[in-house]
Every structure is written in structure tokens, then in C-alpha cells.
Amino acid sequence: MLERVGPGGRVTAIDRDTSLLADLAGVGNAEVVTGDLTTMDLGDARYDLVHSRAVLMHLEDPDAVVGRIVGSLRPGGRVLFEEVDGDPARVAAARGGLPEPFLEVMVPLAARWCWAGPLAGRLRALGLEDVRDDVRTDELRGATPGAAFWAQTLETVRPVLTATAGDGGAGDPGIDDAAIDAMVRLLADPGFAVPFAARHRVSGRARGTAAP
């Protein structure tokens, strides 16, 4: 984005943890802001473009954040939200015939990602024009970089997934270490391939004419 706007433009990067953005500290037209999207004031008619990738889907109330993001657009400004929907995994699970570790571990994770599908309609309801939803369905294939990402992710979130296993709590019952280990092995198997998620690239434009 910094390359696209050039020296006359400005890019603001917002995250609760900006430690990975340290390289931008010395860039003159970059602003790094430590903040929480769910509570921070984004201002009115401030931005020409707002972009997020796999962020809003994890928030407790993403619709409220989207409303404030739309309000922060200048006339003619645009949004581009890249978010994931887990519906392909749910549909595949309902058809049957999938490996048990996938059903026990990955399907419950994908079931949490149900927000992005109707996002285009939400943007239209907020008054945006030229709303588009570019949807791409991804398979989860073993022995690929994507599978390696998920294997590492499962190891990272293992304590969370197993914390409530078998205790009758509100977590994901039945996700235990054995199921996660079996899923990690599947992710290393080149013969493993299942439908998993849909990527929504949803864009829209605020009414009015952008400044030259």
C-alpha cells in the first residue's frame, strides 16, 4: 500500500499488537497505531481505502466495527474485506465419508467462521455502492504449505482446544490431544484432501466522488 500511494499519500496500520510492524517506524508516510478495532474511534470521512484480512471474522461484534469503518470512508472511498467462511467444511461433513480427525477437530473450528457469507448484503444495507463478492473455495490438502500452516496453528491453540475436553463445559467437547495428533498426521499426508473454507473478497464504494 505504501508503494501504491507514493510519497504524497499516507498509510495507517492498526493492530492490538504492533510488534511485527516495527520496520515501518522509520517510514515517513506510514503511521502505526496500537489499538483495538472493537473500541477505538476511527474518525469520520478520513480514509480513501480500508482493508482487512482475516480479522473481522474473529471479533465478537464485527458488524459494529464494519459500521464504523464505513463511516470512516471519505466520499468515493472503498473497503476491501478478505474474510473466511467455514461453510464448505460443514457441507462436506454433512455429506459424510470424511476422516474422523477432520470431523472432530477442523469442522468445529470452521463452524465458527459463519460471518463472511452475508457480508456483501450488509455493505449494501449500509449504503455502499458497487459492492462485489469474489468467492474462492479452498481445499485443505496434506503436505502443502497450507497444511503446514494448520499443523502449526493446531499446536499453538492446542491448550485452548483441549482445556474443556470432556468436562461438559461450553468449549469444544471431545477435542483431545489424541484427536489433534491424528489431525496433524493427516495434514502431513499428501493423499489427504477435503473441502474446507471459502474466501470472500468483499469490496464496496462509499457514495460521492473521491478527491483527485
* Domain CATH for 148: 3.40.50
174, pLDDT greater than 70: no
Q: Give the three cell numbers for residue 184.
A: 496433524
Q: Could you tell me if residue 15 is inside a domain? A: no
Q: Could you tell me if residue 4 is inside a domain? A: no
Cα–Cα dist 11/122, whole Å: 26
Which structural domain range is residue 53 located in?
A: 36-205
Mean pLDDT lowest for which of 7-16, 22-31, 159-168, 201-210? 159-168
Q: In one letter, which amino acid is 130? A: D
Q: Could you tell me if residue 93 is inside a domain? A: yes
- Mean pLDDT, range 101-126, rounded to an integer: 95
Q: Could you tell me if residue 22 is inside a domain? A: no
Cα–Cα dist 142/140, whole Å: 7
Cα–Cα dist 56/81, whole Å: 8
Q: Could you tell me if residue 108 is inside a domain? A: yes
Angle at CA 144, nearest 5°, toward 142 and 148?
Answer: 85
Q: Could you tell me if residue 1 is inside a domain? A: no
Q: Could you tell me if residue 175 is inside a domain? A: yes
| Chain mean pLDDT for the chain | 92
Cα–Cα dist 32/43, whole Å: 16
62, pLDDT greater than 90: yes
**What domain count does the chain have?**
1
**28-46 pLDDT, tens per residue?**
899 999 999 999 999 999 9
Cα–Cα dist 151/43, whole Å: 39
